[in-house]
Amino acid sequence: MGEHHHDHDLKGRSLIITILLNIAITVVQAIGALLSNSLSLLSDALHNFSDVMALVISYIANKLSLRDYSSGKSYGYKRAEILAAFINAAALLGVSCYLIIESVDRFFSIHQPEVNGFLVALLAGFSIVANGISVLLVKKHSDNNMNMKSAYLHLFSDMLSSLAVMIGGIVMYYWHVAWVDVVLSIIIALYLIYSSWSLLVKTIKVLMQFTPAGIDVEELANHFKTLEGIKNIHHIHVWQLNDEEIHLEAHIDYEADVKISEANKIMGVIKSELKQEFKITHCTLQPEFELNDDKSLIVNGAACSE
């Protein structure tokens, strides 16, 4: 438990530093975008602002996930980080659509403002350095945590977009090609859509309590039907609570009317194998003998016997 809290403290500290860095980037780039008339720099500033909001949400979710359970919140706030990842990914898609609309509008505008390429390149360079530091701070926490993964994607994609903006600024400064600014904005927006879509789909699957990827319910059931004393396993539900916990509930048909102690022994074997073979960390098993209920593997809720 102490190590778990220590890890959360490190996450929280990393998030605070990255929040402060991204606030600085957003303010500097927004002012620079107004002074230079650069839509790509404004796009980068808006992207950084979405980073700030994403990181704040991630920080709050990280703290909420540490709260104790209660009778009114039997799972505590364990889903907070998943919800944060969903909000962050959805926000990134929204910002991307806005950037595309603005870019297309400027591209077809008759009077395109002159862009100060030197200022664009300079401020984009500042963003690359600051975001690079943020990426290094968050990456170490992102491998097994969707919340931190969403924050990492925000930061890494913004670092890449800043690199593109800097190159665009150099091109505009030396060759005076104004349309580069608009094209870069569209490319950045398309990249943001690409980078956030898979995370959005993944978080939706968790929130909808779909069976986690990599778990075949039929394979799982067939595996346990071979155990001695087990006649059938049915009414199975498998879902992911957060990045660390997969839950299962199922009904177990026993071949004989065994004692409770013997039933517990068999269920202990099942729980142990569920953890080792399928990475299922928590399960609720209902023992049955000659109970007249629906024996289907997956049972519609309305068809459950009482």
Residue 69 class from Cβ within 10 Å (0-12 exposed, 13-18 middle, 19+ buried)?
A: exposed
pTM, 2 dp: 0.76
DSSP state of 177: -
Please state, in angstroms and rounded to a whole number, the distance separating the CA atoms of residues 154 and 138.
11
Homologous superfamily (CATH) of 217-303 is Cation efflux protein, cytoplasmic domain (3.30.70.1350)
Structure tokens at 178: 């104004």
At 274-288, the pLDDT tens digits run 999 888 989 999 999
Please state, in angstroms and rounded to a whole number, the distance separating the CA atoms of residues 103 and 40.
9
Does domain 2-207 bear CATH number 1.20.1510.10? yes
Strands (E), 165-297: 230-240, 246-254, 282-288
How sure is the predictor about 9, in pLDDT bands with cuts at 50, 70 and 90?
low
At 45-83, the pLDDT tens digits run 887 887 787 778 778 777 777 777 788 887 778 788 788
Annotated domain spans of the chain: 2-207, 217-303
Give residues with Cβ within 8 angstroms of 239, minimum separation 6: 206, 209, 210, 211, 212, 246, 247
Q: Give the strand pairing for 246-254 and 230-240.
A: antiparallel
Q: Residue 255's pLDDT is what?
A: 93
Round the average pLDDT of the chain to a whole number and report it: 84
How sure is the predictor about 89, in pLDDT bands with cuts at 50, 70 and 90?
confident
